[in-house]
């Protein structure tokens, strides 16, 4: 059936065909073949770029297939769009099929699993065994959570001969748990989806900020296996382990779809009805609408969904509540709820200035109201609160952090914090505001590097404990929900991107304890990351370069994964980048061309020739 390919560049038996059109890609054993169409052989690890048009069907083992063909056929079947891997199970013995748990984990390898060039398998008294090897990229666990993993992969499949209709047939009797596939197949098969949960009460400190804030929890769902139903199930199962300590779900524990519910689909008015089991039967209207908001915002992040309204039903089929997208923003603020009025930067006179958000073409920045726009203290960088009423500015020498109003003309007070750094290249980083009104900044003093937190942007700066930090923090960006923080960490001359979880302890009225825990690496493909900004619920825009490569700008997920097409148009000499968590706003950057914007579907446009440190509120 054509040439062989073993995912490391060697050839192994190929069991695939491609059809361009509504049916997508077809493996030769497709249950129903089209009457016409142009079929072309293609290796499963080399899919066409138009992955949304690709659909893969597995084929059963051939009669009297040898052990090598059985192993390669099984690996190909793992890359198919088979809901329960029924065809893959045909390569297993009955006992192996019963014990195999494909949903336990998905292991993603850089080039897919290799069985070795021309390996006939190692014979033993009971059959034959084959090694499966490769280099891991990540694993996706039972919760659908993506976790980076760079370890070597080595497992073994064992085959035996069993009685069949036409004599002895080779079948796999020992198989690794889960599914293993190559990175290109993973990107074709899976979608990244944000589930939404509420920031937990222990995370809600400050003067009313963050109440009912929704937090994005990214997971990966098989995009052609009823993704809407699977996404609803994943939401009901609760947050992933990494995020769970700082979020909560309104759905009662044990809430699942009503028994017997196989699939969910919106009606012709884009209304989705979700029947639940009895766990939420006693919930009142207020609790129900909060559950519905979680569900509605989650489904709006699903590319294939066009749900505009959700109805939750009790176990007896009666209506629990209904929520439309128009009302959802009043129940819980989504990331697009706060549209920034302005973009901000430091002008050539070292003052804080602003331009209308979303404007295109050249712009004339205007001085902001208040002391930071007057130029009394020359500024290096600044950060604007998310309500755009206050700003924090770092002095030109990097040693003083000031606070100023943006709504009234008031004198600039004493610094809120001071750094003892001797060099102007050190000192304070660009500050960052979270959605609770708290301010964060890194002191890069080599003798005393610290991450500082200021409750409501004022008072005595609190040093933040950071578990597992290995290096000095160069830059800080806190997500709008205030429970995740992105850090650029420098060690041995290299700067990498880390994302941590923000945990707060203490009761109301007490000074809270603040800690950053479980730092995870993001943008692993980049050897050096020089700038970054949050750019959505679980997405960041980063500037950096791969090993031996040139500077690039692109998007990464907070879990470390990279989506196809995440690279942005090139730009020369990017020093800083800013994005709004309202993804409809253009990116802004400081480059060799000055301050530039990237509107959706366009190229970079210069808006200001002179200026530095562009930021959105946050």
**Among 292-301, 333-342, 595-604, the least confident range:** 333-342
Same domain, 47 and 103: yes
* pLDDT score at 195: 97
Same domain, 47 and 143: yes
* pLDDT score at 592: 95
Mean pLDDT of 525-546: 94
Name the domain boundary from 177, 212, 237.
177
What mean pLDDT value characterizes the chain? 87
* pLDDT score at 117: 64
Over 80: is that where the pLDDT of 184 sits?
A: yes
Q: How confident is the model at residue 359 (pLDDT cuts 50, 70, 90)?
A: low
196: in domain? no
**Among 225-229, 329-333, 340-344, 591-595, the least confident range:** 329-333
Same domain, 487 and 519: yes
pLDDT digit string, tens, across residues 242-293: 999 999 999 999 999 999 999 999 999 999 999 999 999 999 999 999 999 9
* pLDDT score at 53: 53
pTM, two decimals, is: 0.88
Same domain, 525 and 411: yes
In Å, what is the CA distance from 274 to each residue of 238, 257, 309, 322?
16, 7, 11, 10
* pLDDT score at 565: 79
The CATH number assigned to the domain holding 545 equals 2.120.10.30
More confident residue, 197 or 39: 197
Helix or strand (DSSP H, E) at 94: helix 94-99
205: in domain? no
Helix, strand or coil for residue 313? strand
200: in domain? no
Q: How confident is the model at residue 511 (pLDDT cuts 50, 70, 90)?
A: low
* pLDDT score at 462: 95
- φ, ψ at 45 (rounded to 5°): -90, 0
Same domain, 64 and 154: yes
Percent of the chain with pLDDT over 70: 87
Mean pLDDT of 460-488: 96
Same domain, 265 and 324: yes
2: in domain? no
In Å, what is the CA distance from 96 to each residue of 121, 158, 243?
19, 10, 35
263: in domain? yes
Q: What is the total count of domains within the chain?
A: 3
Q: 41, 68 in Cβ contact below 8 A?
A: no
pLDDT digit string, tens, across residues 544-579: 999 888 999 999 999 999 988 788 998 999 999 999
d(CA 153, CA 334): 40
pLDDT digit string, tens, across residues 312-325: 999 999 999 999 99
Mean pLDDT of 514-542: 94
Question: Could you write out the three-class secondary structure of 537-576?
Answer: CCEEEEEEECCCCCEEEEEEECCCCCCCCCECCCCCCCCE
- For 271-309, give one letter per residue: b (16+ CB within 10 A) or e: ebbbbbbeebeebeeebbbbbbbbbbbbbbbbeebebbb
382: in domain? yes
Name the domain boundary from 276, 311, 331.
331
* DSSP characters over 171-219: EEEE--SSEEEEHHHHHHHEEEEEEEEEEPGGG--SSSTTTT-EEEEEE
* pLDDT score at 20: 33
pLDDT digit string, tens, across residues 121-171: 778 878 999 999 999 999 999 999 999 999 999 999 999 999 877 789 999
Q: Which residues contact 503 (CB under 8 A, 6 or more apart)?
A: 202, 203, 245, 246, 514, 515, 516, 517
* pLDDT score at 510: 63
* pLDDT score at 166: 76
Name the domain boundary from 147, 177, 207.
177
Same domain, 308 and 389: no
Domain residues for the domain of 278 are 224-331
Over 50: is that where the pLDDT of 93 sits?
A: yes
* pLDDT score at 358: 74
Same domain, 324 and 422: no
Same domain, 371 and 248: no
Same domain, 384 and 533: yes
pLDDT digit string, tens, across residues 4-58: 333 333 333 333 433 333 333 333 333 333 333 332 333 344 433 334 456 778 8
d(CA 173, CA 75): 15
Q: How confident is the model at residue 329 (pLDDT cuts 50, 70, 90)?
A: confident
* pLDDT score at 6: 37
Same domain, 311 and 360: no
Same domain, 299 and 448: no
137: in domain? yes
186: in domain? no
Q: Report residue 584 as tokens.
A: 């409809």
pLDDT digit string, tens, across residues 379-426: 999 999 999 999 999 999 999 999 999 998 888 999 999 999 999 889
């Amino acid at each position: 059936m054509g040439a062989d390919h073993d995912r490391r560049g060697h050839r192994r038996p190929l069991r695939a065909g491609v059809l361009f059109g509504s049916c997508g890609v077809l493996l030769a054993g497709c249950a129903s073949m089209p009457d016409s169409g142009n079929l072309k052989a293609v290796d499963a690890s080399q899919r066409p770029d138009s992955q949304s048009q690709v659909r893969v069907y597995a084929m059963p083992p051939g009669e009297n297939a040898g052990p090598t063909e059985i192993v390669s056929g099984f690996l190909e079947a793992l890359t198919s769009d088979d809901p329960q891997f029924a065809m893959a199970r045909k390569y297993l013995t009955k006992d192996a099929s019963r014990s195999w748990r494909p949903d336990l984990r998905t292991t993603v390898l850089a080039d897919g699993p290799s069985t070795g060039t021309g390996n006939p398998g190692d014979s033993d008294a009971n059959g034959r065994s084959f090694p499966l090897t490769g280099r891991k990229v990540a694993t996706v666990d039972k919760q659908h959570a993506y976790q980076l993993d760079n370890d070597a992969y080595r497992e073994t499949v064992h085959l035996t001969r069993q009685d069949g209709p036409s004599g002895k047939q080779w079948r796999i009797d020992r198989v690794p748990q889960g599914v293993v596939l190559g990175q290109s197949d993973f990107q074709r098969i899976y979608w990244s989806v944000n589930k939404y949960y509420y920031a937990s009460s222990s995370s809600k400190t400050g003067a009313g900020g963050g109440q009912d804030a929704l937090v994005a929890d990214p997971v990966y769902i098989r995009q052609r296996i009823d993704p809407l139903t699977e996404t609803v199930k994943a939401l009901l199962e609760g947050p992933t382990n990494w995020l769970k300590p700082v979020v909560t779900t309104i759905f009662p524990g044990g809430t699942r779809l009503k028994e017997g519910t196989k699939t969910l689909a919106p009606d012709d008015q884009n209304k989705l009805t979700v029947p639940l089991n009895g766990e939420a039967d006693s919930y009142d209207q207020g609790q129900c609408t909060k559950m519905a908001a979680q569900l509605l915002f989650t489904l709006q992040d699903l590319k294939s969904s066009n749900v505009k309204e959700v109805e939750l039903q009790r176990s007896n089929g009666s209506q629990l509540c209904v929520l439309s997208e128009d009302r959802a923003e009043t129940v819980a603020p989504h990331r697009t709820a706060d549209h920034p009025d302005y973009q901000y930067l430091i002008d050539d006179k070292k003052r804080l200035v602003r331009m209308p958000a979303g404007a295109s073409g050249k712009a004339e920045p205007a001085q902001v109201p208040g002391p930071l726009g007057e130029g009394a203290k020359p500024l290096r960088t600044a950060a604007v609160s998310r309500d755009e009423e206050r700003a924090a500015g770092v002095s030109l020498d990097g040693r003083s952090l000031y606070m100023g109003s943006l709504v009234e003309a008031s004198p600039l007070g004493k610094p809120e914090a001071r750094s003892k750094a001797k060099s102007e290249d050190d000192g304070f980083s660009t500050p960052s505001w979270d959605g609770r009104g708290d301010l964060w900044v890194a002191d890069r003093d080599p003798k005393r590097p610290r991450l500082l937190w200021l409750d409501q942007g004022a008072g005595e700066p609190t040093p933040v404990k950071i578990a597992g930090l290995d290096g000095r923090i160069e830059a800080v960006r806190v997500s709008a929900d205030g429970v995740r923080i992105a850090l650029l960490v420098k060690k041995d001359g290299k700067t990498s991107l880390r994302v941590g979880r923000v945990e707060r302890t203490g009761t109301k009225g007490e000074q809270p304890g603040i800690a950053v825990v479980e730092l995870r690496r993001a943008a692993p493909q980049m050897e050096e990351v020089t700038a970054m900004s949050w750019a959505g619920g679980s997405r960041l825009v980063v500037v950096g370069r791969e090993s031996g490569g040139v500077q690039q700008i692109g998007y990464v997920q907070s879990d470390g994964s990279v989506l196809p097409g995440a690279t942005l148009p090139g730009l020369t000499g990017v020093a800083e980048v800013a994005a709004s968590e309202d993804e409809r706003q253009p990116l802004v950057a400081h480059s060799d061309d000055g301050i530039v914007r990237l509107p959706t579907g366009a190229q970079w446009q210069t808006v200001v020739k002179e200026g530095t440190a562009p930021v959105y509120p946050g």
